[in-house]
């Protein structure tokens, strides 16, 4: 297997299509629910846009389902009703288990790039961990050979391990992004400059990677500075949801706080 077809043209499909194209891995076909999106991505990379899933049937390579988790089962069913017989197929989700594929399909797997990917924003895959899962050594080998052409960090993991990494990834990326976005907005609302916080954000990541330990956390919660926390909560009086989050996180850092 040294070629791919893609189902979907969103954040992951767009980045994978560009990465495969860049690595010289042939893209056979691209299908998307909105036909124009597939045409557009084929123009940007390679491959042929197809209007029916059954057109993927004769492909020799791997079919990669890159649609939101809530749509994967629906797309798998569409593959079945479109007549795909025991395809070489995977999805790209950290959260969705392997059993989303029918048991009689023997060559199924997961190809999960553990990184935040956005359509239109190129990401070099070289340092992205790609977590692979499947039901057989043969499929793991096929997925590994493909993944290694994009990244130096490919690992075969169980369904459960991948789901745990995904849970952690949501906390590390989505929650941190959300919290920083809220913090920046809160500063901007008062006509202040969020860029003042950028060196702190960089140092926080550096500390997490290189220095993580018991004595690294700083701030009012770990010090037990309840007066500072109450002052912050007063500043957030007009934003009850953010105030509740602030209070909850402070208690998570220091459960002994009297708030």
Ligand X SMILES: NC(=O)c1ccc[n+]([C@@H]2O[C@H](COP(=O)([O-])OP(=O)(O)OC[C@H]3O[C@@H](n4cnc5c(N)ncnc54)[C@H](OP(=O)(O)O)[C@@H]3O)[C@@H](O)[C@H]2O)c1
3 part of the interface to ligand X, by CB under 6 A: no
Cα–Cα distance for residue pair 120/26, rounded to 1 Å: 20
159 is an interface residue for ligand X by CB under 6 A? no
Quick one: residue 65, left, alpha or beta (phi over 0 = left, psi -120 to 50 = alpha)? beta
Single out the segment in contact with ligand X by CB under 6 A; choices: 2-10, 82-90, 192-200, 237-245: 2-10
The answer to the question of residue 31 lying near ligand X (CB under 6 A) is: no
Minimum CB distance to ligand X smaller for 77 or for 189: 77
Cα separation, 95 vs 148, in Å, equals 22
Give the chain's largest Cα–Cα span.
Answer: 68
Q: Which is nearer to ligand X, 78 or 229 (CB)?
A: 78
C-beta of 123 vs 232, nearer to ligand X: 123
Considering the complex, what minimum distance in angstroms separates the CB of residue 239 from ligand X?
Answer: 28
- The CB-of-161 to ligand X minimum distance in angstroms stands at 15
Strand order in the sheet with 154-156: 48-50, 27-31, 4-7, 62-65, 89-91, 108-113, 130-134, 154-156
34 binds ligand X (CB under 6 A): yes
Binding to ligand X (CB under 6 A) within 64-93 occurs at 66-69, 71, 74-75, 92-93
Q: Which is nearer to ligand X, 16 or 221 (CB)?
A: 16
Q: Which of 100, 161, 154, 164 lies closest to 132, judged by CA?
A: 154
* Residue nearer to ligand X on the CB measure, 78 or 221: 78
Which of 20, 101, 111, 112 is in the footprint of ligand X by CB under 6 A?
112
Shortest distance, position 96 Cβ to ligand X, whole Å: 6
Can you give 51-119 as a three-state secondary structure string? CCHHHHCCCCCEEEECCCHHHHHHHHHHHHHCCCCCCCEEECCCCCCHHHCCCCCCCEEEEEECCCCEC
The footprint of ligand X on this chain (CB under 6 A) covers a number of residues equal to 25
The residue from 3, 40, 116, 155 that contacts ligand X (CB under 6 A) is 116
- 211 contact partners, CB below 8 Å, separation of at least 6: none
Indicate the SS3 state at residue 230.
Answer: helix
Q: Which residue in the set 1, 3, 10, 201 belongs to the binding site for ligand X (CB under 6 A)?
A: 10
Q: Is 8 in the site for ligand X (CB under 6 A)?
A: yes
Q: How far is the CB of 218 from ligand X (least distance, A)?
A: 30
DSSP state of 152: S
Give the residue nearest to ligand X (CB). Answer: 10
- CA separation for the pair 75, 66 (Å, rounded): 10
Distance of CA 29 to the CA centre of its chain: 23
Binding site for ligand X (CB under 6 A): 8-13, 32-34, 37, 66-69, 71, 74-75, 92-95, 112-113, 116-117
């Amino acid at each position: 297997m040294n070629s791919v077809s893609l189902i979907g043209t969103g954040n992951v499909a767009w980045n994978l299509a560009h990465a495969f194209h860049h690595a010289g891995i042939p893209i056979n076909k691209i299908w998307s629910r909105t036909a124009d999106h597939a045409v557009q991505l084929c123009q940007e990379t390679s491959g042929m846009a197809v209007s029916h899933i059954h057109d993927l049937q004769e492909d020799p390579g791997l079919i990669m389902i890159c649609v939101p988790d809530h749509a994967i089962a629906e797309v798998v069913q569409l593959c079945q009703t479109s007549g795909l017989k025991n395809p070489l197929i995977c999805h790209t989700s950290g959260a969705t288990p392997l059993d989303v594929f029918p048991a009689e399909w023997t060559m199924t797997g997961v190809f999960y790039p553990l990184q935040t990917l956005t359509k239109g924003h190129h990401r070099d895959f070289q340092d992205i961990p790609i977590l692979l899962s499947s039901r057989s050594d043969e499929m793991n080998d096929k997925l590994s050979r493909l993944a290694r052409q994009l990244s130096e960090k490919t690992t075969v993991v169980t369904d459960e391990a991948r789901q745990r990494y995904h849970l952690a990834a949501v906390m590390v990326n989505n929650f941190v992004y959300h919290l920083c976005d809220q913090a920046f907005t809160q500063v901007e609302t008062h006509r202040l400059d969020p860029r003042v916080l950028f060196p702190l954000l960089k140092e926080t990541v550096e500390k997490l990677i290189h220095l993580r330990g018991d004595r690294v956390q700083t701030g009012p919660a770990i010090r037990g500075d309840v007066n500072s926390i109450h002052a912050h909560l007063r500043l957030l009086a007009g934003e009850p949801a953010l105030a509740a989050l602030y209070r909850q996180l402070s208690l998570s850092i220091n459960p002994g706080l009297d708030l």
